[in-house]
Structure 1
Amino acid sequence: MGKSTVVSTGFIHGRFQVLHNDHLVYLLAGKERCNHLVVGISNPDPTLTRKDEADSARSSLEANPLTYYERYLMVRAALTGAGLRADEYSVVPFPVNFPELYRYYVPMDAVFYLTIYDSWGEKKLTMFTELGLKTEILWRRPREEKGLSSTEIRRRMVAGEKWTHLVPPAVARLAVEFNLGNRLAGAK
């Protein structure tokens, strides 16, 4: 990508309810396009999570077992492990279902990067453009080409199956430190 296309500030977001290798590819694709990447962690807590018909499963407690802080640590560890310096990115809460609150959390003049696999991605694109935000679609793919799933990784953790190869090494270390597999199994 040519230097002239790099913007000052980019914004990218996700739940990262275990940050996996495909998440890292997505984050780094956003970082390639800006000098400073702001990473928004959506559904940061239950009060800033709202059900959306475009993908109602995203808002359930079962789909959001990690705390904001755990995900914050995972994002930072993954980006640092990928070679980014701490001054090249920021991590913030992002109440994705509350567009009226965005200005309190994220730089509204940033380019908002997103990927689209389904109606939820399309809905976010519509929300962002209706707010007058600058957007860039990193890629648009059919749902069956989405790749890794945090739901599947959490299932593997609970079942005692191999999962560490699906996440960045620093994220695997944190998940073990958080005793995540046992915590998730205990929540069932």
Structure 2
Amino acid sequence: MSTTGLFVGRFQPFHKGHLATVKFALGKVDLLVIVVGSAQKSHEPRNPFTAGERIRMVKESLDSEKEVDADRILIIPVPDVDVHSLWTRHVDMLVPKYDVVFANDPFTLMLFRERGIKTIEAPLVDRSEMRATEIRNRMITGSKWEGLVPAPVARIIKEINGVERVKAIAERSHH
């Protein structure tokens, strides 16, 4: 019997901690559905990148990893809904049937657990550094951030002038 897992995240941006979770999850399921959450959001402090940009970051990162079998991965963008308790049902409509949910966010895991769905909190590598918040802060302050993301992500962010965008959004939100 084949098993399907969901890995839910916003991936703002996709970083090496997320990559480690993908590898961890692939060790436990046959098919991994990567849910790009808050898909409708972009150009705001916590969500600077569009769903399309994030999908590219995830896909190109995974394509560049020899030990990741891309045939076992689907990437599906899922927008938010206003009612938290309905969000998991919304996910159900947009993804294939699944057996287990992986996430780094305790709130996301709680929403699925409350419905009796099996959840696994992904073991996080280097949580202090491996956080999208930290990466975005480093972009704002002009510190080194590239080492925290897979090379394809750094390339895409440069290509779309992502650092300038993150800085501009941060400045606007302080006014």
TM-score (ref. length: structure 1): 0.75
1:186 corresponding residue in structure 2: 168
Tell me the SS of whatever aligns to 1:13.
strand
Please list every run of 5 or more consecutive structure 1 residues that lacks an aligned counterpart in the other structure.
1-5, 47-59
Q: Does 1:105 align with 2:94?
A: yes
AA matched with 1:39: I
Q: For residues 162 and 126 of structure 1, what CA distance do their matches in structure 2 show?
A: 34
Identify if the C-alpha distance between structure 1 residues 126 and 184 changes in structure 2 by more than 3 Å, giving closer, same or farther: closer
Residue equivalent to 2:35: 40
Contact 1:10 1:36 in 2 (8 A): yes
Shift of 1:162: 1.5
Q: CA deviation at 1:147?
A: 4.1
Q: Which residue is equivalent to 1:63?
A: 46
Q: 2:11 aligns with which of 11, 16, 33?
A: 16
Distance 1:34 1:27, change over 3 A: same
Please give the per-residue CA displacement for 1:126-154, whole angstroms capped at 9, x wherever unaligned.
3212323232333489xx95541212212
Q: CA deviation at 1:163?
A: 1.4
Q: Residue 25 and residue 184 in structure 1: after superposition, are their counterparts in 2 closer, same or farther (change >3 A)?
A: same
Identity over aligned pairs, percent:
31
* Residue 49 (structure 1) aligns with: none
Q: Cα RMSD (Å) of the superposition?
A: 2.7
Q: Is the 8 A contact 2:61 2:150 kept in 1?
A: yes
Whole-angstrom distance in 1 between the partners of 2:162 and 2:79 = 24
Question: What amino acid does structure 1 have at the position aligned with 2:64?
Answer: G
1-structure distance, mates of 2:124, 2:60: 27
What does 1:72-91 align with in structure 2 at a 5 Å threshold?
Answer: 72-83=55-66, 84-91=68-75
Task: State the distance in 2 between where 1:82 and 1:104 align.
Answer: 30
Aligned residues: 164
